C-alpha cells in the first residue's frame, strides 16, 4: 500500500502548507486529494514535490505491506 505519511511530516519540517502548494506552486486540489487518500500520483508530481520541498522521494512516499 502506498502511504504519503512522510509527505505531511516533511511539509511540517519545511514549513510548507497545502495552501502554498496550491497557490504558489500550482499543485492542484485534485492532486492534494489523491495524496490525502493515498492514491497514486504521477512521477512528474512526485518530482515537483521533491523540488519544492528540497527532498527525496523517500521523504514523500513509502510502501507499506498490508
| CB distance 60 to 3 below 8 Å | no
SS3 for 2?
strand
pLDDT for the residue 59:
98
The pLDDT value recorded for residue 38 is 96
Identify the segments of the chain with pLDDT beneath 70: none
The three three-digit cell numbers of residue 37, written as one number: 487518500
- Torsion sign (Cα): 41, 31, 65, 10: positive
| Residue 57, C-alpha cell as written in the block | 522521494
Tell me: domain 2-63, CATH 1.10.10, correct?
Answer: no
- Write down the domain spans for the chain: 2-63
Q: Are 53 and 59 in contact (CB under 8 A)?
A: yes
Amino acid at each position: 500500500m502506498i502511504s504519503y505519511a512522510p509527505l505531511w511530516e516533511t511539509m511540517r519540517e519545511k514549513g510548507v502548507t497545502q495552501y502554498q502548494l496550491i497557490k504558489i506552486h500550482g499543485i492542484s486540489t485534485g492532486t492534494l486529494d489523491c495524496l490525502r487518500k493515498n492514491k497514486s500520483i504521477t512521477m512528474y508530481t512526485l518530482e515537483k514535490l521533491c523540488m519544492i520541498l528540497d527532498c527525496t522521494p523517500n521523504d514523500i512516499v513509502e510502501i507499506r505491506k498490508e
